[in-house]
């Protein structure tokens, strides 16, 4: 009896050791973010590893400022991990450069890493599509909005806009004048015009799209003529200059905490500020839809998505982790604790704040129905940089038409230099 027990224990130990030896290590790179977000993600990794003993996800979190350089360096050295987090608008460039491989190509395709059914519940802003192939997916997004105070609008008899009945440009201008005349605020309206990085493209593409323009045509992605310099974009750019001339907004970065201190009346920013503003303003906080420039209300879409690198030796195992975190329950879990917006209606319905009667339901509906994604072209990083430079020139007083025409020429020259990114 004793010998039989020893045999069983020995077989159990051998089995456990064999399982540990056979587990394939799958490395993952992502940006180092806030403590609560990292803790939530690490819980998901631990849960996946426990449920999938055949693989072991190993996470390396890289500081945000060094992340792009790390990916470029890894690509040049051919040492990218199996899974990389990619800022969604850069996916097309990564795919064109051969750094990542598709998750889904077409029904029944032999090179599919995932079935479409694994991602069919995900909204547009949670999928990275290039050349009709799904290259990456992400479980969360953020939303742009106007932030103000209920008491301010009530005192000045200003109506509260809705998604179905937003403020028009003309109405918004009158509101800004009313606030300025009231003389209760040091700053009237903040657009973060001196923002850096992706801010200008992310924040202002929805505005110019609402005005009838775009960064580039979206059929072949070869021409910016008539899009970046569309008459609606010209009107929008002149509106920016008018706001500055009338001292209704400012070019400089504001001192920290001006909205919380009640020194700023209206701020155009993202949903990442909600918790901070709630703590400072409480029930007086109003989260409002952006301005309608003529073609409806739009917000930017697409945050950090996960993709499988082309150099990954075990792409199907890597893709299983992406499938795992994109399950409805996992999307809900991640957004429950981080305060982001889920990229699935089924997941949103599991979270009290995003349910039909929840306090943030309107933000979710904006992210589901009113999103304009940045153009899915390998030229996008260049387009974003050129547009950002154009915004800075316009804000500093340069001629609008000449500045936008210059941006068009620079974009089309880059496309030509790269043979159309074909």
Residue 14 confidence (pLDDT): 46
Helix (H) or strand (E) holding 31: strand 24-32
Residue 382 has pLDDT above 50, yes or no: yes
**114 and 242 assigned to the same domain:** no
Candidates 134, 111, 108, 107; CA nearest to 123 is 134
Other Cβ atoms closer than 10 A to 135: 26
**180 and 295 assigned to the same domain:** yes
- Are the CB atoms for 273 and 147 separated by under 8 Å? yes
**199 and 113 assigned to the same domain:** no
**343 and 229 assigned to the same domain:** no
The CATH number for 113's domain is: 3.40.190.10
Average pLDDT, the chain: 94
Give the integer Cα–Cα distance in Å for 413 and 422. Answer: 15
Average pLDDT over residues 309-324: 97
Residue 9 has pLDDT above 70, yes or no: no
Give the integer Cα–Cα distance in Å for 39 and 214. Answer: 38
- List the structure tokens of 72: 């470029």
Count of domains forming the chain: 2
Can you give the residue range of the structural domain that contains 231? 144-300+379-421
**268 and 307 assigned to the same domain:** no
- DSSP, collapsed to helix, strand or coil, labels residue 112 as coil
Burial of 379 (0-12, 13-18, 19+ CB in 10 A): buried
Helices (H) and strands (E) counted in the chain, each on its own, are: 15, 15
Candidates 85, 89, 37, 29; CA nearest to 61 is 29
Average pLDDT over residues 302-316: 97
Q: Identify the band that residue 21 occupies on the pLDDT scale cut at 50, 70 and 90.
A: low
Candidates 42, 75, 128; CA nearest to 304 is 128
Give the integer Cα–Cα distance in Å for 297 and 369. Answer: 10
**274 and 386 assigned to the same domain:** yes
Candidates 255, 245, 239, 252; CA nearest to 291 is 239
**118 and 169 assigned to the same domain:** no
Residue 3 confidence (pLDDT): 52
First-to-last C-alpha distance (Å) of the chain = 72
Residue 336 confidence (pLDDT): 92
């Amino acid at each position: 009896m004793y010998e039989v027990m020893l045999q069983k224990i020995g077989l159990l130990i051998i089995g456990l050791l064999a399982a540990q030896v056979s587990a394939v290590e799958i490395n993952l790179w992502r940006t180092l973010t806030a403590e609560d977000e990292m803790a939530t993600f690490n819980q998901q990794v631990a849960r996946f590893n426990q449920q999938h003993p055949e693989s072991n996800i190993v996470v390396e979190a890289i500081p945000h400022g060094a992340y792009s350089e790390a990916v470029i360096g890894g690509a040049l050295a051919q040492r990218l991990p199996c899974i990389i987090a990619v800022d969604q608008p850069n996916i097309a460039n990564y795919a064109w450069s051969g750094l990542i491989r598709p998750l889904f190509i077409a029904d029944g395709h032999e090179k599919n890493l995932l079935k479409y059914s694994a991602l069919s519940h995900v909204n547009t802003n949670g999928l990275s599509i290039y050349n009709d192939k799904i290259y990456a997916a992400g479980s969360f997004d953020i939303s742009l909005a106007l932030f103000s105070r209920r008491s301010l609008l009530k005192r000045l008899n200003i109506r509260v806009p809705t998604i179905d009945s937003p403020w028009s440009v003309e109405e918004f201008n009158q509101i800004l004048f009313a606030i300025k005349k009231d003389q209760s605020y040091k700053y009237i309206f903040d657009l973060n015009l001196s923002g850096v990085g992706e801010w200008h493209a992310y924040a202002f593409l929805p505005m110019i799209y609402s005005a009838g323009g775009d960064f580039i045509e979206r059929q072949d992605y070869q021409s910016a003529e008539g899009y970046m310099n569309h008459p609606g974009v010209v009107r929008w750019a002149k509106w920016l200059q008018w706001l500055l001339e009338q001292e209704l907004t400012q070019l400089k970065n504001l001192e920290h905490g001006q909205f919380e201190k009640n020194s700023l009346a209206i701020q155009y920013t993202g949903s990442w500020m909600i918790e901070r503003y709630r703590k400072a303003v409480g029930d007086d906080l109003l989260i409002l839809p952006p301005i309608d420039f003529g073609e409806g209300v739009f917000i930017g879409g697409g945050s950090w998505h996960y993709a499988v690198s082309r150099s990954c030796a075990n792409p199907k195992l890597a893709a299983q982790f992406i499938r795992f975190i994109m399950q409805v329950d996992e999307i809900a879990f991640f957004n429950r604790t981080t305060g982001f917006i889920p990229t699935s209606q089924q997941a949103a319905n599991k979270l009290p704040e995003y349910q039909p009667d929840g306090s943030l339901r309107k933000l979710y509906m904006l992210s589901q129905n009113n999103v304009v994604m940045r153009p899915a072209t390998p030229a996008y990083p260049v387009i974003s940089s050129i547009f950002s430079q154009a915004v800075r020139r316009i804000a500093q007083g340069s001629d609008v038409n000449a500045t936008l025409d210059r941006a068009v020429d620079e974009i089309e020259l880059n496309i030509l230099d790269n043979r159309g990114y074909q």
